[in-house]
Structure 1
Amino acid sequence: MKTTIPGISFSVVTLCAALLAFSPRPLPAFAPTVVRANNVQINGIAKAGTRLVAVGERGIIIVSDDGGTAWRQAEVSPDEGSSLTQVFFVSPRVGIAVGHDGLIVRSEDGGEHWREVRFERQRPDPLLSVWGNGDGQVFAAGSFGQLFVSRDAGVTWSTVATPAGDRHLNAIVGDGQGRLVIAGESGTLLRSTDNGLTWQVRPVPYEGSLFGALVLANGDWIAYGMRGHVLRSTDHGDTWTSADGTVNASYFGATQLANGELVLVGQGGAIVTSQDEGRTFAVQSAGGAQNLVTVLDIGRGKLALGGDAGVSVALRQPTARPAAPAPSTAASASASGAEPS
């Protein structure tokens, strides 16, 4: 049988291709994965000293050391891919982030590196909020009545019983004086006066979901939620009254500026502000296409905003409080006991 020249050539080419395919050779260099701050859902933002730390979908954690201009991805080990919902720093170095699948991760270097301390793939119920005080006690609250406490700054965790049943617990905050509040679905509002050892249900004038709460600088508390509802308490969370939330949009995040101005953000990019500790609000943005779920005062008239469109920094010129009217001549004279001229 004769072998043709074309047949020999084809065999040689095939053999060379096989040798090339299976021979050892250096791998091509690939550019590192870059997570842009504007293309990932951001659910929580916190300060670690002067650093900003933001957490979001797929377990992403990004940090900024220049006030939010440039962001880089932090290292999370192992990378479970479960979305993170909130982050809190108990000190400039020690931070805790919580999320789906019961995930809790912890950092000891200001948010640069994170290590998993709790994870339950078989129970994918999310943790939704985290808060801690200065003595190493940290709480994590979540769906179906989940509440956990750590007494060693987030290293180990144990379950806490509450009267919430299986209602979702959306936010937990405290004042550092032993008083804590949990806001949840269906008008759920729990209060503790003994640093989280026991909890009591407090009546509120609203039966819809509450998504967040905040302790104000003057000692008042607010809670906020669906359809623009805002609740206020002037007795450390014991009793609550309704305030005018101004817009019919759900509120997801809040912060208070150094001058006392209160900022709420929410559905469709709604932004409202209050100059009177949450009694009344003025509309800054009625809404748009993108939801805002978190806001943080980062100083120098700037707000860090997180939501569907990632994280951004906006200049905020606080609205000046109206000046008190000058007393009239007659009033001044009357106050001094003199007759007006």
Structure 2
Amino acid sequence: MGSYNKKIALLMLGVLLTLLHRGVQAATYVDVLDLPARPSALAARSPLLDIAQAGQRLVTVGQRGHILYSDDAGQNWRQADVPVSSDLNAVHFPTAGQGWAVGNDGVVLHSSDAGATWSKQLDGRQIGDLMFKHYSDLASAEPGNEQWAGLAAEGQRLIEEGADKPFLDVWFANDQLGYVVGMFNLILRTEDGGQSWTPFQDRTDNPQGFHLNAIASTGDALYIAGEQGLLLKWDGAGQRFAAVQTPYQGSFSGVVGKPGEVLAYGLRGHVWRSTDGGATWHPLASGVQSSITAAIVDADGRFRMFTQAGHMLVSGAGDAALQRLPQAQQSPVAGAALAANGALLLVGSRGVRALPVE
């Protein structure tokens, strides 16, 4: 066989092997929404994105569907049984036993055993249908209301685009009433512990459809933080999330607070404080340029804030500035929580680590 014929033969063999390989891949492909998270001895050192208290237990979530829990203040971690491999962005436990986690691909998970095992309540393959039906029914009941038709069309668009819209945060008032929020004004509410979900896009003052980055309670109010200066507050009388005016036009990544005081934080170290329910806001100097990515109220009632670069900042009531605390090691922080023994647990790109509270 001549060299030219050999080249043709090798080329054809390569094409055949490629087609066979692709056929095997196609035959063995499993959607991450149907693929359980794989056990990993390195899960506690893999990227983790949020952490929460479940009574005395700590529960953290992260990439590839990893959920871990600890009963000894973060010294040892066990990996939970999770039915999906989607990246998980947030976790919340309103009670010691009942908890919810959300993430990419529109996934919503529920645990009734303090985070040891999880079941899927919702994913992005269902959300478009859910929205389309809900707003189509409203459009039929009020044919002259253009808002319903527009939101039904948004539901149809989600059906066509598939399960690619992530939920970014979750909050529950108790084991029945809760919200999940995400990109492009994606927000759903449940009143039965996640057995059913109601689209809530018509109940937010967010006409431009900005991302909803976080939802949190301050004890006396419920806020949603979003991009491009969007800050919403639950209005019980109007049964909607009403816009709160702030002097800041950058994106908010979160809200932390306690009755009578709330801090909204975001890009490049920006922090704004309100002590009158969001009527007026004043800047709180952070001394850093890194984005603030997590915040908690510690056992002494002080605000502790953490940045993408790993800074730890602390503030007391009435302080004009945050104080930066030195650390022996510094790594990016995505979430923070306090353990029952007072230890501070931080999660981020390098997994989880415990620090004594100073």
2:110 counterpart of 1:106? yes
Give the alignment partner of residue 262 of structure 1, picking from 278, 300, 303.
303
Is the CA contact (8 Å cut-off) linking 2:98 and 2:175 kept in structure 1? Answer: no
**CA deviation vs aligned residue, 1:273-302 (integer Å, no higher than 9, x gap):** 112356421111499873111111224341
Task: Report deviation, 1:34.
Answer: 2.8
Alpha-carbon distance between aligned partners in 2 of 1:286 and 1:206, rounded to the nearest angstrom: 30
- Equivalenced residues, count: 282
Is the CA contact (8 Å cut-off) linking 2:44 and 2:68 kept in structure 1? Answer: no
2:242 counterpart of 1:200? yes
Cross-structure match for 1:73 = 79
Task: Report deviation, 1:62.
Answer: 0.5
2:187 counterpart of 1:181? no
Structure number with the higher helix fraction is 2
- Aligned to 2:286, the other structure's residue is in SS state coil
Cross-structure match for 1:126 = 166
Cross-structure match for 1:329 = none
Task: Report deviation, 1:233.
Answer: 1.3
Amino acid at match of 1:237: G
Alpha-carbon distance between aligned partners in 2 of 1:82 and 1:33, rounded to the nearest angstrom: 14
Alpha-carbon distance between aligned partners in 2 of 1:85 and 1:33, rounded to the nearest angstrom: 19
Cross-structure match for 1:214 = 256
Is the CA contact (8 Å cut-off) linking 2:272 and 2:282 kept in structure 1? Answer: yes
- Aligned to 2:346, the other structure's residue is in SS state strand
Cross-structure match for 1:308 = 349
Cross-structure match for 1:56 = 62
Identity %: 34
- Aligned to 2:287, the other structure's residue is in SS state coil
Give the alignment partner of residue 40 of structure 1, picking from 20, 43, 46.
46
Cα distance change on mapping 1:299 and 1:150 into 2, 3 Å = same
Cα distance change on mapping 1:132 and 1:250 into 2, 3 Å = same
Q: Which structure is richer in relative contact order (CA contacts within 8 A, separation 6 or more)?
A: 2
Is the CA contact (8 Å cut-off) linking 2:103 and 2:166 kept in structure 1? Answer: yes
- Aligned to 1:224, the other structure's residue is in SS state strand
Is the CA contact (8 Å cut-off) linking 1:268 and 1:287 kept in structure 2? Answer: no
Is the CA contact (8 Å cut-off) linking 1:267 and 1:287 kept in structure 2? Answer: no
Task: Report deviation, 1:118.
Answer: 0.5
**Over aligned residues, Cα RMSD in angstroms?**
2.1
Structure 1 unaligned blocks of 5 or more: 1-31, 318-341
- Aligned to 2:334, the other structure's residue is in SS state strand
Task: Report deviation, 1:266.
Answer: 1.2
Alpha-carbon distance between aligned partners in 2 of 1:142 and 1:94, rounded to the nearest angstrom: 21
Is the CA contact (8 Å cut-off) linking 1:39 and 1:310 kept in structure 2? Answer: yes
Cα distance change on mapping 1:82 and 1:235 into 2, 3 Å = same
Cross-structure match for 1:97 = 101
Structure number with the higher strand fraction is 1
Cross-structure match for 2:266 = 225
Cα distance change on mapping 1:135 and 1:237 into 2, 3 Å = farther
2:138 counterpart of 1:138? no
Cross-structure match for 1:281 = 322
Cross-structure match for 2:198 = 158
**CA deviation vs aligned residue, 1:226-251 (integer Å, no higher than 9, x gap):** 00000111122333222112211100
- Aligned to 2:53, the other structure's residue is in SS state strand
Is the CA contact (8 Å cut-off) linking 1:230 and 1:245 kept in structure 2? Answer: yes
Alpha-carbon distance between aligned partners in 1 of 2:108 and 2:254, rounded to the nearest angstrom: 20
**CA deviation vs aligned residue, 1:22-59 (integer Å, no higher than 9, x gap):** xxxxxxxxxx9434354311111011111110000111
- Aligned to 2:82, the other structure's residue is in SS state strand
Task: Report deviation, 1:269.
Answer: 0.8
Alpha-carbon distance between aligned partners in 2 of 1:196 and 1:99, rounded to the nearest angstrom: 29
